[in-house]
């Protein structure tokens, strides 16, 4: 993969991001690479590869922007979990060496689309009255599935299955699967369970005309909705650069401490 134009995207609201941005720029310059520095709020096209400094929220926003340009992004974690990140601040130089040597792969991650809005993790639909449950009628390919009386509905990608969907009781879905997950949030019934559907399906959440609804995109942008919400697979995919030998299940173990038993206390 021929790469000539590099960018460094950082989130100045995150502690130490300016320091790490300067460190990364210096490392690249010492290796003969000049990178343009971009603030998360001032992204632009024209790059072959983008380093992203921040937490998962910063990576989500950057990934959505660069998906339409098919530009790979590489995350350096300064947040808490950093599930989408590939490098820590301590391993920046090692990671840069591997990337410049071509020792990485670019993984396509499917995204969701509703009208002009896209999401890499999930769309979350809730009633405007956050103190009460709301009724959500769900259709798949225009065929009625069920009504939920719940705090909300999450429609998640495999990438987003380890985010809000996991907290709401949804399954972990391997990122290579072409599927979406529909997860009710705190449903007022004992029989409601998450549903996994192929990514070629159209998911419609029908809204009640008497109730206002809020749509959240990756937990970052909020929109009021007064008509049915039709969600499909986006025409674009997010391009995540992963170092060689990166393995999804080891990330589960290391970052989510998956199935780790409680420590024995004497």
- The token pair at 46 is 């024209």
Say which residues have a Cβ less than 8 Å from residue 10's Cβ, sequence separation at least 6. Answer: 17, 18, 20, 21, 37, 38, 39, 40, 52, 53, 54, 58
Rounded Cα distance, 138 and 118, in Å: 20
- The token pair at 27 is 């490392």
Among candidate residues 56, 122, 151, 218, the one labeled active-site is 56
Rounded Cα distance, 127 and 40, in Å: 30
Q: Which helix (H) or strand (E) holds 8?
A: strand 6-10
Active site residue 56: yes
Question: Strands, DSSP E only, in 34-188?
Answer: 35-39, 49-54, 73-77, 104-114, 117-119, 122-127, 134-140, 143-150, 152-156, 179-185
Rounded Cα distance, 32 and 119, in Å: 35
* Residues tagged active-site: 56
């Amino acid at each position: 993969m021929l790469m000539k134009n590099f960018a460094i995207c950082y989130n100045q609201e995150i502690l130490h991001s300016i320091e790490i941005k300067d460190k990364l720029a210096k490392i690249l310059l010492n290796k003969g690479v000049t990178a343009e520095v971009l603030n998360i709020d001032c992204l632009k096209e024209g790059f072959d590869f983008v380093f992203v400094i921040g937490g998962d929220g910063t990576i989500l926003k950057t990934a959505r922007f660069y998906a339409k340009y098919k530009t790979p992004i590489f995350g350096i974690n300064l947040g808490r979990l950093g599930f989408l990140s590939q490098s820590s601040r301590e391993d920046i130089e090692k990671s840069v060496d591997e990337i410049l040597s071509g020792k990485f792969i670019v993984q396509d991650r499917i995204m969701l689309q509703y009208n002009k809005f896209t999401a890499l993790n999930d769309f979350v639909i809730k009633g405007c009255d956050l103190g009460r449950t709301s009724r959500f009628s769900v259709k798949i390919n225009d065929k009625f599935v069920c009504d939920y009386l719940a705090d909300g509905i999450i429609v998640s990608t495999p990438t987003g299955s380890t985010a809000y969907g996991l907290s709401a009781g949804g399954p972990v879905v391997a990122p290579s699967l072409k599927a979406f997950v529909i997860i009710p949030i705190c449903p007022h019934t004992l029989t409601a369970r998450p549903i996994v559907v192929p990514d070629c399906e159209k998911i419609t959440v029908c809204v009640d005309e008497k109730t206002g609804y809020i749509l959240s995109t990756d937990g970052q942008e909020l929109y009021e909705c007064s008509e049915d919400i039709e969600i499909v697979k986006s025409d674009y995919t997010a391009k995540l650069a992963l170092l060689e030998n990166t393995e999804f299940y080891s990330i589960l173990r290391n970052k989510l401490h998956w199935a780790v038993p409680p420590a024995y206390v004497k």
